Every structure is written in structure tokens, then in C-alpha cells.
Chains A and B, each alone.
Chain A
């Protein structure tokens, strides 16, 4: 994208009598700004939609209507009204607070939540919709999302309130622990795809829903649920919302926050909910490959030209977003149904159940993959030819190891767009 922009700039510059180099900083800055604007919009508008949805979902679950007035029939402008309220609210900083850290903390959280989207692709194949196509995207996303805990710790510490400190302590203990089973769960699809590249993982599941890693074998089916549990815990959603447990800790780490700073915490929370759900959608639910491959049935593939392929990718993007929205809605459903766990029970769930289950499922999936390679849908179906075209054989796949292929595959996979 940056090169394309530089070429456009060069074209304009030539018109004025100058020239712009192919790797000029201008193209990169503009490209970065475009990506940033798109992602910011996704996270911010996503938060708007999710907060409205949360109100609506909770309302329906609780036999209420939820918002009905602001912006017409469904109250769809309710969040905007809330935002205006938050903007005009008095911005309070406790007298004893560490003012610098208190001010910075919400932005740290939001940055961490937003950065995760840099490496998350929304469509794959020849021209992936991704801000930065990273070779280790899965790892990057996990690493960056782990940084969000910093915001909570800093907020809890800087608030100079005991309740905030309790919230921060709980958050730190919880998030650091849940990274372990979550990482173990993520490793399973990575192993099946043979790559940490999210674009590659998504592309490997193309075709019908039978190719989703969720249905790859019984082990991955269980792993998905473990991942979803851990994901819910790592973004502090009920029943794991201990850091802000309102019946115990008043409001936990954001007790002392008000106005816009508080809403940044909320945006970060909804942003990371979306990030976790997107990751689940790409890793287990086929990503941009629908239950029914509409795009390829309609012929919207890259073989038929870039514009058509682009359209197909656009459909894929809608697909992956729909899946992520569905998962976020499930999180809301869970939140408004279940009571909250106690801190020791949260840790027990993580260390005694999630981690061993994830580890066992990892071993099981590895053995399954070894005994039944190239089969999907619980081993019932042969993986489609299209899949085999994409999937480069890996060292463990076949006995006749062709190292030249391995090298070719390695280089091919490392190639950047």
C-alpha cells in the first residue's frame, strides 16, 4: 500500500516537476494513517455498537425493552448520548493520586487493545485485508493483549484508593494466569495450520464449514470452548469480571475514574472483547470462510481478476465480523446470566481445569493430526483439493521428507505482500 501511495505521490510530484522515491516516508506515513483510521473506526464504532447491543441484549434477557427513545425506534443513538454525557462530566482526579500515571493509564489500555488489531486480518488469500501482515501474528496479538493488564495495574495503583488497588491485584493475578491456558489453546490451530500467520491459518480453513478447525477433530472442538472461556477471563468479562466486581469492590480499578477517561477503559474493554472474538473466529471458526463458501460459489475469487477477488474478500470480511459479533453477543449473554466467581475459584478454573484440559487437548490434537493427516471434520472427510494446494507439507506430514520443499515452503510463507 505504501509503495502504491508513493507511486501516486510521484505521479503528482512529476506533475509539479519533482519526484518521490519509492520508499519515501510520506507513503508509509499516509498508509499507516489510513490503516489507523480504519482500525480506530472499527474499535470505536464497534464499542458504540456493542454498548448499545449490550443494553439491548441485557434488556431483553431481563424482560425489559432496553433503550427505546434516543435516535428512533430502537434507541440506536443511546451510546452517542451516553458519550456526550461522559464528555461533559466533571473530570475528577483524587487529591492523593499519582496524577501522571492516573492520566496515562486509560490510554495505555486503549493503545494495547487497539494495537492487537494491527495484526488481525479481516480477509485473506492473495491480498489479505490486514494492517500489517505479520509472520507471527498470533503471537503478536497475544503479546499485545497481555499489555492491557498494565493499564489496570497503573489505574489501580495511581488512584490511591484501596478498592482500586484490590481490583488491580486481582486483574494482575488473573490475566497473568489466564495467558497460560489461552496460549496453549491457540497453539492447537497453529499446529494444525503449521503457521503462526493468521492469514495462513484462515486460508487453510477455506471451503464449507466442515473445514473449520472447530470441527477438525473432537479435541479442537473442546479447545475452542476452553479458549473462549479463557478469552472471556482475559478480557475481564463476567463471570470473571473480578477486577471491577461492583458488588465487592465498588467498581474495582476504575472506581475513581469519571468522564472521558472512564469511557476509554470501556472502549478498551469492548475493543479487546472484539479482538478475542476475532481471534477465535479466525483460529477456530474458519475466519473469512463462511459456513457456505458464498464467495467461491459465486465465483468471486482471485482467479477471476483482482476486482472480483476484492469483492470476495469484502464478503469474507463481513463474514469474519459477523462471527466475531456473534461471539461477543455470547459473552454478553453469559454476563447477564451467571453470577460472578470468587477469586480463588477463578484461579482454580484456570490452573486446575483450563490449563490441564488445554494441554491434554493439545496432545490429543497432535496425535490425531499425526494419525489422520489431510482429513477434516472429525476425520470423516478428505480435506478438499483446494486445501492441499495451499497447505505445504511440513516435516511431520510425510515420511519422505523433501527438504527442498520445506525450504520453498519456508520462503514462500515468509514472503511479505
Chain B
């Protein structure tokens, strides 16, 4: 057994195990905590696959950002100190059916796609250079490093990059931020004016 599969097994077991714990737990903050661990293990899988950037992204956005806000929100909205969630059997059944169906679809897809079949090569060959975040960053700025062999200059340069979508997304996010600030602004008390 090589180290990759060893660590893969460890991370995937953690991700899966804590995902199950999320479902089985009834305390909502504990659920969030298990979700953190599950997502952190997923980040570990990304690191294992050599996708450092995505792994760090996963940690920062999902584990560090979203879940902090989630736990925070749960803490603040909780009516009592520790919230217990009760699930009715009907909901449990629906969830089981839906989850089972999703599992079947995913597993069958994973098995049936030929490109995803295990090969004789190990997952990461240490001799080949790992593709890093730099090509992603350059592609976002308009330079496609993976298109360097393109004979067409236009395709090789700016045309093939993702600068435009990147700008659109950033502007969109800016608008969202301004909107959020507008919605969350300090409210003035309503002054009734008689005319």
C-alpha cells in the first residue's frame, strides 16, 4: 500500500464518517461542527490530489467563512441554550429515499465512466510537474498557459482567457455587497408626518 491510498482512505473515511454524524446528531451546533470536520477532510482530499489552491480555498471559504457564519447564526437565533432538532419519521423516510437515490446515481456514474476507471499508474506521479494555481490565475487575467501550442495568436492570447467572465463575476459580487450593506443599514425610527 502506498502513502497516497493510505491518506486517501483516511481522509475519505473522515469525510464520510463525519457526514453521517451530521445526519445522526440532533444538536444543531454539533451538526455544524461535524460538517466542519467533514469539509476539512474534503480539503485534505484536495491537497492529496495536488490541488493545493482548491484545498486552501475549501478551507477558507467553506470551513473558515461559511461555517463560522452558520454556527454564529445558529447561536444567535437559538431560543434556548442548546438546540435539539427532532426529525419526524416521515421526514426521515423522505430524506433516506432522496439520499439513497443520489447515492445510487453517483456510484453508478463513478463506476460507469471509463475515464474514471482506476489505471495502473499511481494517482500522482512525482516525476511530472504538478500544475499549480499560477495557470488559473493567469487564465483569469487572459493568458491561457495550457493554450500555448495554439497556432492562432488570437486564441493563444487574451481571447482565450477568462478575464471577461472574471470581471463580470467580480462586479456582480460588488453589487451583492452593496446590496447587503443597503439591506443591513441602520434603520431610522419611522417618523409619522402629518400634512
Contacts and interface: CB of A to CB of B under 8 A. Distances in A.
A24 B136 CA distance: 32
A174 B135 CA distance: 34
A144 B76 CA distance: 25
A136 B56 contact: yes
B145 interface: yes
Interface string B79-98: 00110000000000000000
Given A407-B145, A414-B134, A139 B129 contact: no
B71 interface: yes
B63 interface: yes
B126 A416 contact: yes
Interface string B120-159: 0010001001111111001001010100100000001000
Contacts of B148: 403-404, 406-407
Given A147-B63, A406-B145, A140 B3 contact: no
Contact of A403 (B1, B126, B156): B156
Contacts, number: 131
B75 interface: yes
B63 A98 contact: no
A17 to B, nearest CB: 21
A91 B56 CA distance: 36
Interface stretch (A149-157, A244-252, A317-325): A149-157
B65 A146 contact: yes
Interface in A123-163: 134-136, 139-140, 142-144, 146-147, 149-150, 153-154, 157-158, 160
Contact of B33 (A2, A25, A154, A179): A154
Contacts of B135: 410
Contacts of B122: 23
Nearest to B75: A157
B133 A406 contact: no
Contact of B30 (A98, A176, A196, A416): A98
Interface stretch (A165-173, A271-279, A335-343): A165-173
A134 B130 CA distance: 11
Given A143-B59, A403-B156, A411-B129, A135 B27 contact: no
A80 interface: no
Contacts of B145: 406-407, 410
Given A140-B56, A169-B72, A146 B64 contact: yes
B178 interface: no
A176 B52 contact: no
B85 to A, nearest CB: 14
B69 interface: yes
A101 B74 CA distance: 15
Contact of A28 (B3, B36, B129, B130): B3
Find the residue from B56, B69, B75 having the highest chain A CB count within 10 A: B56
B65 A413 contact: no
Given A150-B36, A160-B81, A176-B69, A25 B134 contact: no
A101 B75 CA distance: 14
Contacts of B71: 150, 153-154, 157, 172
B134 A410 contact: yes
Interface residues of A, number: 50
Given A146-B65, A160-B81, A165-B75, A414 B130 contact: yes
Best-buried of B3, B36, B75, B129 by chain A (most CB within 10 Å):
B3
Interface in A335-383: none
A195 interface: yes
A414 B4 CA distance: 20
Contacts of A134: 52, 56
B168 to A, nearest CB: 21
A140 B59 contact: yes
Given A98-B82, A150-B36, A407-B145, A414 B131 contact: yes
B2 interface: yes
A100 interface: yes
Interface string A175-194: 11001000000000000000
A136 B133 contact: yes
Given A143-B59, A416-B130, A135 B53 contact: yes
A2 to B, nearest CB: 7
Contacts of A415: 129-130
Contacts of B82: 98, 160
A159 to B, nearest CB: 10
Given A28-B3, A169-B72, A140 B52 contact: yes
A71 interface: no
B15 interface: no
A327 to B, nearest CB: 23
B3 A172 contact: no
Contacts of B101: none
Contacts of A59: none
Contacts of A150: 36, 63, 67-68, 71
B146 to A, nearest CB: 9
A330 interface: no
Give the interface centre of B72, B76, B132 by most chain A CB atoms within 10 Å.
B132
B24 interface: no
A395 interface: yes
A414 B75 contact: no
Contact of B53 (A100, A139, A144, A146): A139
A403 to B, nearest CB: 5
Nearest to A396: B141
The 5 tightest CB contacts between A and B, nearest first, are A143-B60, A146-B64, A414-B132, A28-B3, A143-B59
6 contacts: A96-B81, A104-B33, A143-B57, A146-B64, A150-B63, A154-B33
